[in-house]
Structure 1
Amino acid sequence: MLVASSAEAAKEIMKTHDLKFANRPKLSMPDTLTYGSSDITFSPYGEFWRQVKSIAVVHLLNTARVQSFRQVREKQTALMIETIAKSHKSVIDLSELSFWLVNNIVCTVSLGKSYQGLKFTDLLERFVHVLGALCIGNFIPWLSWIDRLSGLQDKAHKVAKDFDDFLEGVVKEHLDKRKEWDDQSKEDRDLVDILLDIQSANALGFALQRETIKAIILDVFAAGTDTTYASLVWSLSELMRHPRVMKKLQQEATEVAQGRSMIYESDLDKMEYLKATIKETLRLYPPIPLLIPRQSMQDVKLMGYDIPAGTQTIVNAWAIGHDPTLWDEPDEFRPERFLNSSIDYKGLHFELIPFGAGRRGCPGVQFAIVMYELALANVIYKFNLELPNGVEAKDLDMSETNSLTLHKKTPLLVIATPRF
């Protein structure tokens, strides 16, 4: 295994030698959960991966499609703001509200409607937990019996079956619906409809299997929800701890909104301090701190080292974001460092790579960020937030979970007071 913890090493792996490191290692938990790694994230590099990635990028994640979902995002954000307003200064769980906001948006655009309830939340939580669990067999194959003994493999198979039952229901629902309409405009179709269109037209160089359809849906849905709401909670938490930053962001929001009831997506490009706040959050709390592992496909010379083919490779985005040679006072939350800075998170600046870079970088960055920006801007614009029971902001618990995605360990409980 190779671990890269510097921006220089990350650039070598994800740019200079990107093609040589474009493969994914065969990992037990992802393989069990994603139909034999037939999704976009975990499938091996090759023609199949290119085809399934292009389906998502062309039909869901391109600029025009992302913009076409604007009304969905604004409607769901307005509903969240309304829910907070109705709390009448009682304690609310912003972690839970953030989850449902992001989940409702992702479900609506990819599955055609939102899915709620404790059963659904529990299913997603179990999926993420098993996906990020330490699997001994991935690193020492002859000790894989430990994963059976610990019950991890049984948990993975149970989650996989439960998620398959859910996704099978979604696909069947769409197939039944298709019998009833002939001329529905393509703009109204969700990701599942598009995948079924491609399957029936046999538009790829291979047959699009039912399991591949479910794997792509699972990818977009699980990855889109889990990472985005986690980042939103980290931003809100840091703003609670830094009243100066909160006040500055509220001033920007108030100026941009000009007295309107909410901030709209067309306003976001004017909010430089909002964008800087989000970059600073992603630097300190990259959604997937170690990114998704890669694997070298051929021998390669890397920074003076001989790396053999088949080497599992991890890029430590968290370490790079906290590197004191790259960042002044790296543990401090200071959005100002990104004002008048060209550094971005889109995979071109290797000192900030929360979504990876190169061929295997996250294709859903644009889709995620616009939800994140809209939600954060409106919560901050509409409310003053304080911690309950007289807890001071500096004492807010910022401990992290131990999982694939970097979550705040305890829910963010606040009292929200309307600003206007």
Structure 2
Amino acid sequence: MSLWYVIVGFVFFASILIAKNMKKSDKTKKNLPPGPWTLPIIGNLHQLGTHPHRSMFELSKKYGALMSMKFGSVSTVVASTPETVKEVLKTFDLDCCSRPYMTYPARITYNQNDLVFAPYSKYWREVRKMTVVELYTVKRVQSFRHVREEEVASFVDFIKESASLENPVNFNEKLLKLSGSVICRVGFGINLKGSELENTVDQVIVQTFEVLGSFAAADYFPVIGKLIDRITGLHGKCEKVFKILDSFFDQAIKHHLEDEGIKDDIIDLLLKMEKGEIGLGEYQLTRTHTKGILFNILSAGIDTSAQTVTWVMTHLIKNPRVMKKLQAEIREVIQNKDHITEDDIERLEYLKMVIKEAFRITPLVPLLVPREALRDVKIGGYDVPKKTWIHVNIWAVHMNPSIWKDPEYFIPERFMNNETDYKGLNFDLLPFGSGRRMCPGMAMGVALVHLALINLLYRFDWKLPDGMEPEDVDLLESYGLVCPKKVPLQLIPVLTQWT
């Protein structure tokens, strides 16, 4: 986002030259939500800063729960409270569930042939049904349980070696590789080791979400936007990650076509749909559709699990009281078991509170993927015209002091005797969104989060590198569609009697 200062300066200069040709929009006659004053041409882009979700939250304190903004040529509203978010994601979900065309997400998702960025249509509904019924059922999630347990066991072996050498573990890097190993086996039938992504999975996934979460000039300035993106490097970054991912998909598909013994994984299902052996409503998948769907499985499956565990460990090392209490619970429940399984998760009530609080205070997707109004709709008493982009600011909801007492503090106990959950029904805690566009792979991701955390906290104690104290651990995130910790978390594992 720092490159936006270059963009703003460039476009603001252009605005001086052509502002005299601008005409007043007839939308001023509508009862639009209030919002900050806009500059010619650039609108409110100059007010986004390096962390748009934070900037929008501050602006919403002045302009209200539903706020109008203008990004270049695009009219936008921002929902920032549970009430307005509920109207967008539930009450008027059908009216607000489409997606705008965004240049670089369209490129990476093979022209929006995926689930996340595809506009609302018959095709999207069929893909959504297929993912819910075929890919992310409870039965399928459980069928890959052995994969998660094997990969976590391998990860534990790596940490044991690090502990014996007193080497710090880079959580940002190593957890992306753990999650990548699971997704490669579950979704693609191949091992991460030896694949096109073996040495670059952490950088590629992070860069992909930087591209997907960017406020691209090409989307807001039809004439000169693509030139600006070339100057800032966004276009080049997009092409780089696209080529790497495309090559990985080709490798995984070729592996399946050459080995007929690979059955019952996600690529096998999609290839059968390509051949017409399994139907997708009135559609028959092409290779482009297959790759678009695979992109969602790979990117979302890897990043969300890895970043969740990293953020939980960050909050625990920064809050020794919580760390001690959680480890005590886990070690009391697990006791002297050598083989930890997912069956142990249900008995860990404080662990569930800790994860909820991590989702609240550091939501992985602080700004949900933009929606587009399919028709004129009235939200919060204001007019939202057709084609308006709608941003849902989860960060603002989670940090609202009228909803959460002391929202800036990590207090898992706030969920004690509290039925609030993150499964899309409570509009004050929405890490996975809600409604038609809610993340369908939540159960798959959370299963890995639970298993990884239990092993990390049962088998090892953790300390900061020499010279660091808990208060030195920062909580600043890098901005992208998914927001990772900006400064990588590095902790030194300590062998315990349970290791």
TM-score range for the pair, normalised by the shorter chain length: over 0.9
Provide the secondary structure at the position in 1 that maps to 2:466: helix
Counterparts of 1:81 and 1:158, CA distance in 2: 33
Q: Out of 50-59 and 18-27, give the one that drifted further.
A: 50-59
Deviation at 1:16, TM superposition (A): 0.5
Change (3 A) 1:96 1:119: closer
Counterparts of 2:417 and 2:229, CA distance in 1: 49
Q: Which residue pairs with 2:19 in the alignment?
A: none
Cα shift readout 1:144-168 (whole Å, capped 9, x = no counterpart): 1322333322332333233212211
Q: Which residue pairs with 2:291 in the alignment?
A: 214
Change (3 A) 1:217 1:345: same
Q: Out of 246-255 and 114-123, give the one that drifted further.
A: 114-123
Q: Which residue pairs with 1:161 in the alignment?
A: 243
The structure 1 segments of at least 4 consecutive aligned residues displaced by more than 4 Å after TM superposition are none
Provide the secondary structure at the position in 2 that maps to 1:141: coil
Identity of aligned residues (%): 39
Cα shift readout 1:249-280 (whole Å, capped 9, x = no counterpart): 11110121121024310010111100100000
8 A Cα contact 1:93 1:411, kept in partner: yes
Letter in 2 for 1:203: G
Structure 2: 5+ residue runs without aligned partners? 1-75
Q: Which residue pairs with 2:390 in the alignment?
A: 313
Deviation at 1:400, TM superposition (A): 1.3
* Equivalent position to 1:49, from 120, 124, 128: 124
Deviation at 1:345, TM superposition (A): 0.5
8 A Cα contact 1:253 1:263, kept in partner: no
8 A Cα contact 2:210 2:479, kept in partner: no
Q: Which residue pairs with 1:140 in the alignment?
A: 221
Q: Which residue pairs with 2:204 in the alignment?
A: 123
* Equivalent position to 1:227, from 301, 304, 318: 304
Structure 1: 5+ residue runs without aligned partners? none
Counterparts of 1:162 and 1:259, CA distance in 2: 44
Tell me the TM-score normalized by structure 1. 0.95
Cα shift readout 1:279-334 (whole Å, capped 9, x = no counterpart): 00000111111011111101011111011011100100011000000001000000
Q: Which residue pairs with 2:313 in the alignment?
A: 236
**Is residue 167 of structure 2 the alignment partner of residue 90 of structure 1?**
yes
Provide the secondary structure at the position in 2 that maps to 1:137: helix
Counterparts of 1:306 and 1:121, CA distance in 2: 42
Letter in 2 for 1:170: A
Deviation at 1:202, TM superposition (A): 5.1
Aligned residues, how many? 413
Letter in 2 for 1:139: Y
Q: Out of 135-144 and 394-403, give the one that drifted further.
A: 135-144
Q: Which residue pairs with 1:285 in the alignment?
A: 362
Higher relative contact order (CA 8 A, sep 6+): 1
Change (3 A) 1:262 1:399: farther
Cα shift readout 1:318-369 (whole Å, capped 9, x = no counterpart): 1100000000100000001112111001100000011110001111111111
Deviation at 1:107, TM superposition (A): 1.1
Counterparts of 2:203 and 2:364, CA distance in 1: 20
Provide the secondary structure at the position in 2 that maps to 1:96: helix
**Is residue 253 of structure 2 the alignment partner of residue 171 of structure 1?**
yes
* Equivalent position to 1:347, from 417, 420, 424: 424
Change (3 A) 1:73 1:252: same
Provide the secondary structure at the position in 2 that maps to 1:359: helix
Counterparts of 1:162 and 1:233, CA distance in 2: 25
Letter in 2 for 1:75: E
8 A Cα contact 1:129 1:403, kept in partner: yes
Letter in 2 for 1:80: F
Letter in 2 for 1:153: H
Q: Which residue pairs with 2:93 in the alignment?
A: 18
Tell me the TM-score normalized by structure 2. 0.80
Alignment of 1:378-397 (within 5 A): 378-397=455-474
Change (3 A) 1:382 1:169: same
Counterparts of 1:96 and 1:123, CA distance in 2: 11
Cα shift readout 1:370-407 (whole Å, capped 9, x = no counterpart): 11111111101111100011311121132211222111
Cα shift readout 1:233-263 (whole Å, capped 9, x = no counterpart): 0100100011111111111101211210243
Q: Which residue pairs with 1:359 in the alignment?
A: 436
Letter in 1 for 2:453: L
Q: Which residue pairs with 1:34 in the alignment?
A: 109
Q: Which residue pairs with 2:407 in the alignment?
A: 330
Letter in 2 for 1:374: L
Q: Which residue pairs with 2:481 in the alignment?
A: 404
